[in-house]
Amino acid sequence: QVQLVESGGGSVHPGASLRLSCAPSGRTSSVYFTGWFRQAPGKEREFVAAISTRGEKVEIADSVRGRFIIFLGSANNTVYLSMNNLQPEDTAVYYCARPEINYSSQYWNRPSIYNFWGRGTQVTVSS
């Protein structure tokens, strides 16, 4: 079973940047894409970004486009989420996730298609 561990969260001021990492372990040959989601207290889990295993397909949520970038490690299986110009509304627990089977990218924003989830990393943006 695939295990995912997020890291890189923290408490920052508005305008700061953070880079989150999603480090997988276990079987990776059957993984087709990786997604990033976030969830603030009292709110639904929100899609942030996703990337295919080889990096040829990327999806970015409208809410973070232009500020966040998702990319793959050049020589490992880690998936990164680079977050720039962070704002208070970005405050949430950030999760990475992977599915068991492949889906078209039009479905990547749906939490229900993902089978493996990390425990999350907290991002807090406040002045």
- What is the pLDDT, as a whole number, of residue 28? 63
| Predicted local distance difference test score (pLDDT) of residue 24 | 84
83-to-22, 27, 50, 87 alpha-carbon distances in Å:
14, 28, 14, 10
pLDDT at 30: 62
**Which pLDDT belongs to residue 17?**
98
Give the span between the Cα atoms of 53 and 106, in whole angstroms: 16
| Euclidean distance between CA atoms 25 and 36, whole angstroms | 17
- The residue type found at 53 is T
Contact 58, 109 (CB under 8 A): no
The answer to whether 96 and 109 have CB atoms below 8 angstroms apart is no
- The answer to whether the beta carbons of residues 107 and 52 sit under 8 Å apart is no
pLDDT of amino acid 29: 59
pLDDT computed for residue 31 by the predictor: 76
Q: What residues in the chain have per-residue pLDDT under 70?
A: 27-30, 75-76
Q: What is the structure's pLDDT at 54? A: 86
Q: Which residues pair with 4 in a beta bridge?
A: 24
